[in-house]
């Protein structure tokens, strides 16, 4: 996960974008986006102690956080698995009916 808190902290200390990039291991574009968004939201260091990294990420970039919890993610995985299983079962039924249909026609 991107170190949003650290980017905001280092920005407040007056560190250059290059220094922040090197320290946090992110692209300069990421630093610019975080700094811009933090300014838009008037987020300043120090941040509230009870603000978690996940909450900070949601606050900064809500559209990048589509899954509000683990249950949503598990639901999507299950839905994908069921869709795949249904597609496989449908394909198998076509193959079986094609095979037995031809065999039945030859026995007449």
Do 16 and 35 meet the contact criterion of CB atoms below 8 Å apart? no
Phi, psi of 46 (to 5 degrees): -80, 145
- Sequence-distant (6+) residues with CB within 8 A of 58 are 65
d(CA 35, CA 18): 13
Query: Would you say the C-alpha torsion 59, 61, 67, 70 has a positive or negative sign?
Result: negative
What tens-digit pLDDT sequence spans the chain (108 residues)? 789 999 999 999 999 999 999 999 999 999 999 999 999 999 999 999 999 998 999 899 887 655 555 566 677 777 788 888 888 878 777 777 777 765 544 554
What lies within 8 Å, CB to CB, of 75 at 6+ separation is none
The structural domains of the chain, with segments of one domain joined by +, span: 4-64, 66-108
Distance between CA 40 and CA 45 in Å, rounded? 14
How far apart are the C-alpha atoms of 44 and 34, rounded to whole Å? 12
Whether the predicted model's global pTM rises above the 0.75 cut: no
């Amino acid at each position: 996960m991107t170190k949003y808190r650290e980017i905001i902290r280092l920005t407040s200390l007056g560190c250059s974008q290059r220094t922040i990039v090197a320290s946090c291991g992110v692209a300069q574009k990421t630093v610019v986006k975080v700094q811009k968004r933090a300014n838009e939201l008037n987020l300043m260091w120090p941040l509230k102690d009870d603000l978690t990294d996940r909450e900070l990420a949601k606050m900064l970039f809500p559209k990048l956080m589509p899954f509000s919890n683990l249950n949503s993610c598990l639901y999507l995985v299950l839905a994908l698995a069921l869709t795949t299983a249904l597609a496989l079962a449908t394909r198998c039924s076509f193959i079986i009916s094609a095979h037995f249909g031809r065999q039945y026609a030859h026995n007449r």
